[in-house]
Structures are given as structure tokens and as C-alpha cells.
């Protein structure tokens, strides 16, 4: 309990509230005490026909009752725990936090203080969770209980029937309490079913004439109500116990089922602590199966840090996986100039050849041949074309950072020139020079539209400059 809660108890009003909180516990204890009298005294002792059967009924009844009461008592008396001082923010930092101008400043203060603490949960704005009443950094899965007036580790909910918060230290006891309470109610209902039917069958003179119940009918009243109450409690406990078994198997609290925890990496995720059904069960009930049915604390961990599903699967967080890819952003101008498409200028200097569109059946990427008007002898052609062909200004292309609208290379420095070595040009069957167009599709050429004769192309050969 918190210090404020202890101070409130010292006042008359606080004392009355503390007594009022125990009313549900007193009611449950009174019902159990009455059921014990109705079952043991009225059903077994005064209404027993078979001594051996009565002994077996009382034996199993007391086993269920002991486990039931043991779990219930441990759930009530187990403390919610206390958050260590290392999670508490000094008064100077709290003053700075409350005087911060904007949420970003508060966020930096909290993140700086919680840098050495094992916290993975965050608020919706990404800040470390902070309790303004307790002045502490909230551990993972911890919440402040207004009834207990303190931060509770792995808080599930505050249960008035046990006058305590269901938390990390008593969650196993609470689940066992629900399970054994269900077993207790079902056992009482099934063992009283026969007598319940007999009472309705022989309502007038069945059992009273046998002398097994007194003439006032008090014994019958106890057995009838014992059956009804055990059935009603069993129906309510079936849904509650089944729901908490589900929460145990998915490693989720009641608060987390209504509001998903927010993680530093990944954001809100209801299955953030899900490690698998068996691992989740062992996290609450422990690794030794011999202690599973006993209300003895065997839960894993310390209540401050919990393994997450990401840690269990061994997968790196999304941010780390993207960071491992390195820098994938590149500048187009940083690439190799030879990676850019180059359009070779035709060697034919005849003006009419440029004005004629290419044949419709010819693809822009196909090899084109141009017949010369006056073919030269074979030996002369080989002498005119060395292995490293020097195409006057047409094939000396400036880089992207030194482009000029003028096709002439006189205004471009030599350090920014790219000389393309085409090697030995192939020939067709007629001995004419063959030009290979390295540029992609040209919409104008494909449509049969010829470019002007004096049009100058950019280095990539896409758009002519007029």
C-alpha cells in the first residue's frame, strides 16, 4: 500500500472505508461457512443412509474445501508488492518534469531517466510511462490502482471479492481460487442432486415419515438452498474461470485485453508478451508441475521485466532489419556516366536520309544499314576505319553536370567529356557501315515523325533541343 493510503486509514473516514472494503470478503466467508454446515451436518450426518458413502463424500468435500479456502486466503493476504527506489524519480527531476513547457521536453526527461531501466512499454505518444501519484517510472505491465492507491506490478484488476488487486504475486492464487471454487460448487451440486430430487418427489410425506428430517423442515430448507446456490455460483464461475485460463494461455491481463500495451518498437500489440501456450502457462504457474495445483508462489520473473514475443522468436525488430540493409538512397548523378543511354549519331551526312521515317516493320532497336552513294573499295574502307574510331564532335558527349544545348564540344572542357569507343563498326552484305542505336524507344520515330536536321540531342538522346 502507498503512504497516502496509510495516512487515510488513520482518519475516521478512512477507517470506515477500510472496514467497508471487507464486506464482500465477509459475505463470501459467511456463505462458505453456511455451506459447510448444510453439507456436513444436514446432508451427510443427519441424512446419511450409507456410512461408507458418507465417509467418501466428506473426504473429497474437505479436500476441495481446503484447496478452495487456501487459494482464497492467499489471494486476499498477498501484498501487491512495492516498486524499488531505483524506479522513483528524484524530487528535482519531478519539479523539472512538471515545469516543462511542452510534451517533448517531458518526454526527453523521462527517457533520460529510464535509460538504464528495463522498460519496453510506452504511452501513445512514445514517452516512458510515468505515475504522477507515486512519482515513479511504471514498470512494464504495471498500473496505478486508485483503490489500493499504489502502482501494482502486472495489474490484472482490482477484485472487491478478495479486497485486493490481482497482480503478479497473487495471480496464480487467484486462478486456483476460481478453479477450486468451481470444483467445490460442482461437487456440492452433484452430491446434493439426488436428495434434491427426492425432496420434490416426496414433498408431503417422503422423508419426514422416515425421521431423517425434523418436522419443521429446516434440514430440507438447507439442502434445497445449498443446491440452488452451488448451481448459481458454478454458472458464474465457469465463464470467469474459462476467461482467465484463456488470458493465461495468451499471456495477457484483463487490462491488456481491453487496452493493448504500447511497445517502444512496434506500437500497440495485444500479443506482445505471447510466448506460446506452454511458455505462457509456465510463466504464471512455474516450471515444476508438482506445484501447479498448490497455492504456492512459483511464477517466473521478478514482476518488473517480461520477455516479449519478439525476443522469443529471435527476429530483429523492424527498425533493426531496415537498418541492416544500409543506405539504399543513391543520387542519379553519382552513377557512372557509361550507365546512361547513348544515341549514336548516324554517319550518313545525306540531308534527305534524316527526313525519311524508318520503315513501319523495323523496330527502333534493330540494326540499321545505310548504303553509300559511291561505295569505296574494300581496302580503302578498312584504312579509313581504325580499331578505335574517332567520330568527330558527334560522339564526344558532355556529362550531366556540364550539358550544353550546342552539339559542338568546343565549349565543354575535356575533363567533362566522355569519348565512346565503338571499336570496329560491322558491315552488312553490301559493305555499308552499320550503326547500332543504343537509345530506348523513340515515340516520334516509331510514329514516323522525323526530327529536324539541325536538331541537337541531349546526352541521353531522349528530347531534342531546338
CA distance 60 to 291: 20
Give the 3-state secondary structure of residue 130: strand
The CA–CA distances, whole Å, from 370 to 126, 133, 442 equal 70, 90, 20
CA distance 211 to 224: 18
CA distance 377 to 374: 10
Length of the chain: 466
CB-based contact 294:152 (threshold 8 Å): no
CA distance 278 to 269: 20
CA distance 188 to 63: 12
Asked about 159 being catalytic, the answer comes back as: yes
In terms of phi and psi (left: phi > 0; alpha: psi -120 to 50; beta: otherwise), the region of 76 is alpha
Q: What are φ and ψ of residue 391, in 5° steps?
A: -90, 105
Reading the block at residue 222, the C-alpha cell is 438447507
Reading the block at residue 168, the C-alpha cell is 503478479
CB-based contact 132:146 (threshold 8 Å): no
368: β partners: 435
CB-based contact 98:78 (threshold 8 Å): no
Question: Residue for cell digits 543520387?
Answer: 331
Q: For the chain, how far is it from start to end, CA to CA, in angstroms?
A: 86
Question: Residue for cell digits 515513479?
Answer: 136
Q: In the 8-state DSSP scheme, what is residue 427? A: B
Query: Among 396, 386, 405, 387, which residue's Cα sits nearest to residue 344?
Result: 396
Query: Among 131, 102, 127, which residue's Cα sits nearest to residue 112?
Result: 127
Q: Which of 134, 145, 159, 282 is catalytic?
A: 159
CA distance 328 to 433: 43
Give the 3-state secondary structure of residue 158: strand
What crossing angle do the helices spanning 23-36 and 12-21 adopt, rounded to 10°? Answer: 30
Question: What is the Rg, in whole angstroms, of the alpha carbon atoms belonging to the chain?
Answer: 44
Q: In the 8-state DSSP scheme, what is residue 289? A: G
Positions annotated as catalytic residues are 159
Amino acid at each position: 500500500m502507498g503512504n497516502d493510503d496509510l495516512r487515510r486509514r488513520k482518519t475516521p473516514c478512512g477507517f470506515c472505508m477500510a472496514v467497508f472494503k471487507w464486506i464482500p470478503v465477509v459475505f463470501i466467508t459467511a456463505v462458505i461457512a453456511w455451506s459447510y454446515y448444510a453439507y456436513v451436518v444436514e446432508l451427510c450426518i443427519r441424512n446419511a443412509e450409507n456410512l461408507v458413502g458418507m465417509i467418501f463424500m466428506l473426504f473429497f468435500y474437505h479436500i476441495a474445501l481446503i484447496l478452495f479456502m487456501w487459494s482464497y486466503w492467499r489471494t486476499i493476504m498477498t501484498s501487491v508488492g512495492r516498486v524499488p527506489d531505483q524506479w522513483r524519480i528524484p524530487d528535482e527531476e519531478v519539479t523539472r518534469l512538471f515545469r516543462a513547457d511542452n510534451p517533448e521536453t517531458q518526454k526527453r526527461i523521462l527517457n533520460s531517466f529510464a535509460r538504464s531501466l528495463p522498460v519496453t512499454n510506452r504511452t501513445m505518444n512514445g514517452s516512458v510511462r510515468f505515475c504522477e501519484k507515486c512519482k515513479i517510472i511504471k514498470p512494464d505491465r504495471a498500473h496505478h490502482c486508485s483503490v489500493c492507491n499504489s502502482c501494482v506490478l502486472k495489474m490484472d484488476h482490482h477484485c472487491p471479492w478478495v479486497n485486493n488487486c490481482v497482480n503478479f504475486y497473487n495471480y496464480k492464487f487467484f486462478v486456483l481460487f476460481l478453479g477450486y471454487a468451481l470444483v467445490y460448487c460442482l461437487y456440492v451440486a452433484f452430491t446434493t442432486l439426488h436428495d434434491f430430487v427426492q425432496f420434490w418427489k416426496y414433498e408431503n410425506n417422503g422423508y419426514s415419515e422416515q425421521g431423517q428430517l425434523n418436522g419443521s423442515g429446516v434440514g430440507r430448507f438447507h439442502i434445497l438452498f445449498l443446491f440452488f446456490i452451488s448451481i448459481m455460483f458454478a454458472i458464474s464461475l465457469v465463464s470467469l474461470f474459462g476467461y482467465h485460463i484463456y488470458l493465461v494461455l495468451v499471456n495477457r491481463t484483463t487490462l491488456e485485453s481491453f487496452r493493448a500495451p504500447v511497445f517502444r518498437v512496434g506500437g500497440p500489440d495485444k500479443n506482445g508478451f505471447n510466448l506460446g501456450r506452454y511458455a505462457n502457462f509456465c510463466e504464471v504457474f512455474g516450471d515444476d508441475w508438482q506445484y501447479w495445483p498448490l497455492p504456492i508462489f512459483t511464477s517466473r520473473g521478478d514482476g518488473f521485466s517480461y520477455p516479449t514475443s519478439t525476443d522469443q522468436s529471435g527476429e530483429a525488430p523492424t527498425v533493426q532489419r531496415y537498418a541492416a540493409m544500409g543506405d539504399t538512397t543513391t543520387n542519379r548523378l553519382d552513377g557512372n556516366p557509361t550507365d546512361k543511354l547513348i544515341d549514336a549519331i548516324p554517319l550518313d551526312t545525306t540531308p534527305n536520309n534524316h527526313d525519311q521515317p524508318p520503315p513501319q516493320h523495323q523496330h527502333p532497336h534493330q540494326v540499321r544499314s545505310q548504303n553509300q552513294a559511291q561505295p569505296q573499295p574494300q581496302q580503302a574502307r578498312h584504312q579509313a576505319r581504325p580499331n578505335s574510331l574517332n567520330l568527330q564532335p558527334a560522339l564526344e558527349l558532355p556529362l550531366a553536370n556540364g550539358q550544353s544545348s550546342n552539339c559542338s564540344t568546343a565549349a565543354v572542357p575535356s575533363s567533362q567529356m566522355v569519348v565512346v569507343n565503338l571499336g570496329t563498326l560491322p558491315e552488312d552484305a553490301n559493305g555499308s557501315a552499320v550503326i547500332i542505336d543504343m537509345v530506348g524507344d523513340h515515340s516520334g520515330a516509331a510514329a514516323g515523325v522525323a526530327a529536324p536536321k539541325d536538331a541537337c540531342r541531349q546526352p541521353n538522346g531522349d528530347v531534342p533541343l531546338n
